[in-house]
Amino acid sequence: MNKTYFSILSLSLLLGLGSCSKSFLEESDPNAIPSAVFFQTENDVKLAVNGVYQYLRSSETVGENSGLYTDERSDDTGRNDNQSNAGEPFQFNDFSILPSNTYLKRHWLNLYQAITRCNQVLDNLDKVSYANPETKANYQAEVKFIRGFLYFQLVRKWGDVPLVTRQLLLTEEVAANTFREKKEKVYEQIVADVKEATVSTLPDHQPLSGKGHVSKVAAFALLGKVYLTMATTLDATHRTANLNLAKTNLMEAYNRRTFKDLKDIPYADVFDVTKKSTNPEIIFQIVNRQGDINFSSSIAANTQAKGETINSLKPGTGIGGNVTRDLVLEYEEGDLRKDFSIKFANDAAVKDYFITKFRDVSAGAGVNGYGGNDWILLRYADVILMLSEVHVYLGDEATAITYLDMVRERANRPKYAEMKEQESYRTKFPTLKLALLHERRVELAFEHQRWFDLLRFFTIDELVTYMRSKSQANFGTARLSNFGTKDQYYPIPFDENKLNPEGMYQNKGY
C-alpha cells in the first residue's frame, strides 16, 4: 500500500506514480503526516478545511494571478512576448497551445491536488468528535462546495475529466481511476456537491470573522451558474429544465441580498481594499492580508505599467496587465467602468493600456506591493446579469432588460431601450443577447469570467466565426486565425494522455 499523507499529491501526480518503481511508491516523506494520524481532534479538521481554502489562492488554481488560463484565453487580455519561458505562456492567447505545455500541466495538477485535499477531508470527518454536530455538517458543506467549484473549472476547460470523490489509498485504486468521465456525469457530481451547501446550516452571508468562507448565498449563486452552463453547453434535451433551475437558484441568491439596489453600491467600492469585508455586493472571495509577505495580494503591483503610480507604491517595470485594443474599443463613451478599470500608460517603453481595476496604494501595502485586495469569485452584478441571461433564453425579454438595466444604471449608462435607438450601439450589439454579453464583458473585465461567458453564449462553430470576425490589428502578435473548433477545450496534458491513451483520450484537434 502507498500511504496517503496529509500533504498528499494530486490525482495527476498519483497517476504519474503508476509507472514508477515499487520502491519509490513505498517511500515515505519524513515531513508528512499520514492522514490516518493527522485527524485526531476537531481543531485538526478545522486546519484541514483551512488547507482546502488555501489551495484556492494559488495562481495555478483560481487565484488572482490565474488569468493565464481564462482571460488570456479570451479576447480581453494577452501578451505580445512570444519568447519568454520558451514561449509557453504566449500559446494561450495565440491559440497554439500544445499538450506538452508545462503551464497547462501545472494548472491541471494543482486543480486535482486541491480536489484530493477535499476528498481527504471529507473521508476523515467522521473520525473525530465535535462539540456541536452543526460544525461537522458545515465543514462538509464548505468542502463539497469547493470540490464542486474545482470540478466546474475542470469540466469547462477540458470537457470529460477524471472524476474522483474519495481518497485513493492503493496503487490499484489509482490505476482504476485513470480515465476520463463523461462531462454530463461530472456535472451531476458538481450539482450534488454544491446543492448540499444550499440546504446546509451555513449562514446566508458570512460575518466579518468568516469572510472568505462559503455561504449559502455563494452556493445558490454557483449552483445557478452551473445550471445555466449546463443549459447552454450540454445536450438540449434538458435545456428548459436547467434554465428554470438556474433561475430558481439565482433568485434565491438575489432575494437574500442585504442591499436594496445595485446602484447604491458604487462600482469603485467593490474593489476598495478598505471596504472589502463589508461590501454587500461581494458574495465569495479569497481573502488576502495587506502587508503580509505570504498572504498578501500582488495583483495591484503586477498589473501596474512602468512609470505609473495608480495601482501600487511598488514601481512598475513592464507593460502591466495587458489589455487588448478589442476590449478598449468595447467600452461605451462615458462608461465609468472604463475609467476605473483601464488607463493608458504614456511611458516611452509602454504607450499602451494597462489594468487599473485592482489597486492598493496604501502605506500598508508599501513599496513591496504587498496589497490587501481580496480576489472576488462571486458577486451580485454577476448574479443579476445571469438572471438577465436566463430570461433571454426563456423568452422573457422584458424581465431580462430589467436586470440588464440594473447594472447599466450603476455604471451611469442609459437604459437598454434608449441605447438600442442609437445606430452605433445597435450595429455593434444587434440583439439583446449580444448586448448582454457586452455588458458582462465591461462589468466583469479581468475577473476571469470572459472565456466562460464566450463558451456559454456561443456554440463552438459560432464562437469560431465570432473570434475570426474581429480585427487582427486589435490583438497584437497573437494570431486570431489560429482559433478553431479545437479551442473549445484545452488539450489533455501530454503526460496524462501517455499514461493511459485509451482512458485519457486526447481532445479533438490536438
3-state DSSP assignment of residue 355: strand
* Average pLDDT of the chain, as a whole number: 92
**Predicted local distance difference test score (pLDDT) of residue 32:** 53
- In the three-class reduction of DSSP (H, G, I as helix; E, B as strand; rest coil), residue 181 is classed as strand
Question: Which residue would you say has higher pLDDT here, 12 or 473?
Answer: 473
In eight-state DSSP terms, residue 354 is E
Please give the domain boundaries of the chain with CATH numbers for all domains: 1-202+484-510 (1.25.40.890), 288-373 (no CATH)
Task: Return phi, psi of residue 360, to 5°.
Answer: -160, 95
Q: What is each CA distance from 238 to 83, 173, 189, 230, in whole angstroms?
A: 46, 34, 17, 9
Q: Which of 62, 99, 461, 8 is nearest to 222 (CA)?
A: 62
Q: Does pLDDT of 322 surpass 70?
A: yes
Percent of the chain with pLDDT over 90: 88
Q: Is the pLDDT score of 20 beyond 50?
A: no
**pLDDT average, residue stretch 29-48:** 77
Q: Is the pLDDT of residue 31 over 70?
A: no
Q: By C-alpha distance, which of 396, 381, 353 is closest to 279?
A: 381
Q: Tens digit of pLDDT for each residue in 450-490?
A: 999 999 999 999 999 999 999 999 999 999 999 999 999 99
- Is a pLDDT exceeding 90 seen at residue 35? no
In the three-class reduction of DSSP (H, G, I as helix; E, B as strand; rest coil), residue 230 is classed as helix
The reported pLDDT for the residue numbered 178 is 87
- Cβ-count burial 225-262 (b if 16+ within 10 Å, e if not): bbbbbbbbbeeeeeeeebbebbbebbebbbeebeeeeb
pLDDT, residue 19, reads 33
pLDDT at position 368 is 97
Say which residue, 12 or 74, is predicted with more confidence. Answer: 74
Give backbone dihedrals phi and psi of 240, rounded to 5 degrees, phi first: -65, -40
Phi/psi of residue 461, nearest 5 degrees: -65, -40
Question: Is residue 5 over pLDDT 50?
Answer: no
| Residue-wise pLDDT tens digits, 358-409 | 999 999 999 999 999 999 999 999 999 999 999 999 999 999 999 999 999 9
> In this structure, what is the dihedral angle of CA atoms 196, 157, 56, 5, given to the nearest 10 degrees?
80
Indicate the helix (H) or strand (E) that contains 379: strand 375-379
Task: Kindly state the average pLDDT of the residues 201-210.
Answer: 97
The arithmetic mean of pLDDT across residues 24-38, rounded, is: 49
Q: Is it the case that residue 147 has pLDDT exceeding 50? A: yes
Interval 345-364: pLDDT, tens: 999 989 999 999 999 999 99
**Cβ-based neighbours of 284, under 8 Å, separated by 6 or more:** 214, 215, 218, 221, 222, 376, 377, 378
Tell me the average pLDDT across 212-222: 98
Q: Which amino acid is at 415?
A: K
Q: Identify residue 442 by its one-letter amino acid code.
A: V
Residues 227-273 pLDDT 10s:
999 999 999 999 999 999 999 999 999 999 999 999 999 999 999 99
Does 13 score more than 60 pLDDT?
A: no
- Where is average pLDDT lowest: 21-25, 251-255, 373-377, 443-447? 21-25
**What's residue 169's pLDDT?**
86
